[in-house]
Amino acid sequence: MPGAGLPPENEAPTELVKAPIRVYNNSLIKNLAERAAGEFRDSGWTVTEVGNYAQGNIATSTVYYRAGTSEQAAARSLASSFGMRAEPRFAGIADASPGLIVILTKDFQRR
């Protein structure tokens, strides 16, 4: 049957799940978080905070989410679009308010 399993042509595309983002710089690159936040906003994401993360060294640019929530799908979408990892939150940020936490390192690539 031709077209079997395909959505009808008039059906709206599925909306990607998005969540608010806090962006933190964990590198010595000046204004990295601000530049990345601008790129995220240009891609339709809501950035609620920009700053530095100085509580330790993060190995690679990562989007952190609260496990078991819709943040996981949003984190994977953002990470895929910007060449980052998506991981569950670690102990140091586990209790932070809802939303994605992006911690950038020197490996973050501008789009």
Determine the pLDDT at residue 16.
Answer: 63
Domain ranges, residue 35: 21-104
pTM beyond 0.75: the answer is yes
- Asked if residue 3 is part of any domain, the answer here is no
- Asked if residue 12 is part of any domain, the answer here is no
- Contacts by residues 65-69 (CB-CB < 8 Å, ≥ 24 positions apart): 65/19, 65/89, 65/100, 65/101, 66/98, 69/98
- Asked if residue 77 is part of any domain, the answer here is yes
At residue 92, does pLDDT exceed 80?
yes
- Asked if residue 65 is part of any domain, the answer here is yes
- Asked if residue 43 is part of any domain, the answer here is yes
Start-to-end CA span in the chain (Å): 41
Question: Tokens representing 46?
Answer: 């809501």
Determine the pLDDT at residue 110.
Answer: 62
Can you tell me which residue has the tokens 């996981």? 72
For the sheet with 62-65, list strands across it.
47-52, 21-25, 100-104, 62-65, 85-88
Name 62's bridge partners: 85, 103
Q: Can you tell me the distance from the alpha carbon of 77 to that of 15, in angstroms, rounded to the nearest whole number?
A: 11
- Asked if residue 109 is part of any domain, the answer here is no
- Asked if residue 55 is part of any domain, the answer here is yes
CATH number of the domain that residue 41 is part of: 3.30.70.2390
At residue 38, does pLDDT exceed 80?
yes
Number of structural domains found in the chain: 1
- Asked if residue 10 is part of any domain, the answer here is no
Q: 13 pLDDT band (50/70/90 cuts)?
A: very low
